């Protein structure tokens, strides 16, 4: 974890935060993130493909890092094209919303059109009946990792992205492979990453009048009570080949909206389809 003695500052919200209103017909809404889809992880892809085919959700929200790396919409990688085709097939029967993460922030308009996904801003307010949820990938709120936040600010600049995407595809693919190797090396050293800052999370929730912050990124699935009726729900990452596979979907069920968890339910992939 990279840290600094500099004072931490909550990232500012845009003047007009994006909003999505759940349709009255949505009885189940699914949330996933941090699948890190990669041709070298076929078990995770197969689990995701099964989920996409079988989910009974009326809408799906993907909160970033769907892909391990994305180096441009002009990709000719058969695995990436297979993923886009599966997204398109699923999007023909339910809306799919996509909010980019730190691995797939270069996924652009062309890939969105091919896949049928609808782009979300970070953050986005989602109204689920009486519940207002603030959706984010979560990385911008990991305030203790100032080195990463500086990198994030750089690569999110349109000028930087235009310069990177102007490189030949093969060069960008080599960069992506290098990033993946660095990520695997960090996993082997069990690097302790910064977590979402609770004060910043509360400030965002109060400013947007939301009760729940829903995010991924940290790979630490949990529910955090922030006080004053506010909560932070963290999505799970997906790894099908681990000794203890992590394949978890978070769903909002309208019929359970009056329960203490406000309709939010964690379920392993094999039970992502509601019982009859």
**pLDDT score for 273:** 43
pTM for the full model? 0.93
DSSP string, 139-158: GGG-TT-HHHHHHHHHHTSH
For 34-88, how does the pLDDT look when each residue is reduced to its tens digit (9 = 90+)? 999 999 999 999 999 999 999 999 999 999 999 999 999 999 999 999 999 999 9
Kindly tell me if the per-residue pLDDT of 2 is higher than 60. no
Q: Estimate the share of the chain in helix, then strand, then coil, as percent rounded to the nearest 5.
A: 35, 20, 45
Please give the DSSP secondary-structure letter assigned to residue 193: P
- The mean pLDDT value of the chain amounts to 91
For 109-125, how does the pLDDT look when each residue is reduced to its tens digit (9 = 90+)? 999 999 999 999 999 99
**pLDDT score for 242:** 84
For 172-224, how does the pLDDT look when each residue is reduced to its tens digit (9 = 90+)? 999 888 877 877 776 666 566 789 999 999 999 999 999 999 999 999 999 99
Say how many residues make up the chain.
276
Bridge partners (DSSP) listed for residue 132: 127
Bridge partners (DSSP) listed for residue 246: 239
pLDDT band at 275 (very low <50, low <70, confident <90, very high): very low
| Angle made by CA atoms 231, 232, 234, in degrees to the nearest 5 | 145
DSSP string, 65-106: -SBS----TT---HHHHHHHHHHHHHHTTS-EEE---SSSTT
Q: Which CATH number fits domain 18-180+192-271: 3.60.21.10, 3.30.1600.10, 3.30.70.3270, 1.10.3470.10?
A: 3.60.21.10
Please give the DSSP secondary-structure letter assigned to residue 3: -
Question: How many angstroms separate the CA atoms of 197 and 251, rounded?
Answer: 24
DSSP string, 33-69: ----B-TT-HHHHHHHHHHHHH---SEEEE-S-SBS-
């Amino acid at each position: 974890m990279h840290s600094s003695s500099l004072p931490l500052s909550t990232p500012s919200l845009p003047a007009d935060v994006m909003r999505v209103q759940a349709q009255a017909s949505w009885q189940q809404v699914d949330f996933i993130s941090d699948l890190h889809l990669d041709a070298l992880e076929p078990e995770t892809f197969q689990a995701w493909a099964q989920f996409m085919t079988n989910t009974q959700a009326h809408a799906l929200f993907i909160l970033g890092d769907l892909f391990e790396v994305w180096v441009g919409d002009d990709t000719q990688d058969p695995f990436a094209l297979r993923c886009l085709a599966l997204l398109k097939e699923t999007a023909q029967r339910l809306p799919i919303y996509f909010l980019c993460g730190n691995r797939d922030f270069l996924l652009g308009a062309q890939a969105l059109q091919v896949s049928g996904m609808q782009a979300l801003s970070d953050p986005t307010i989602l109204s689920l009946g009486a519940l207002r949820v603030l959706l984010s990938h979560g990385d911008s709120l990991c305030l203790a990792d100032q080195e990463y936040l500086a990198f994030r600010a750089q690569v999110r600049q349109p000028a930087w992205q235009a310069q990177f995407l102007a490189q030949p595809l093969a060069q960008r693919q080599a960069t992506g492979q290098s990033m993946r190797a660095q990520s695997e090396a960090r996993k082997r050293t069990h690097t302790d990453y910064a977590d979402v800052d609770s004060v910043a999370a509360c400030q965002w929730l109060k400013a947007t009048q939301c009760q729940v912050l829903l995010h991924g990124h940290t790979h630490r699935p949990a529910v955090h009570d922030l006080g004053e009726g506010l909560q932070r729900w963290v999505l799970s990452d997906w790894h099908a080949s681990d000794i203890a596979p992590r394949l978890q979907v978070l769903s909002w069920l309208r019929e359970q909206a009056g329960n203490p968890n406000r309709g939010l339910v964690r379920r392993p992939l094999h039970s992502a389809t509601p019982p009859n």
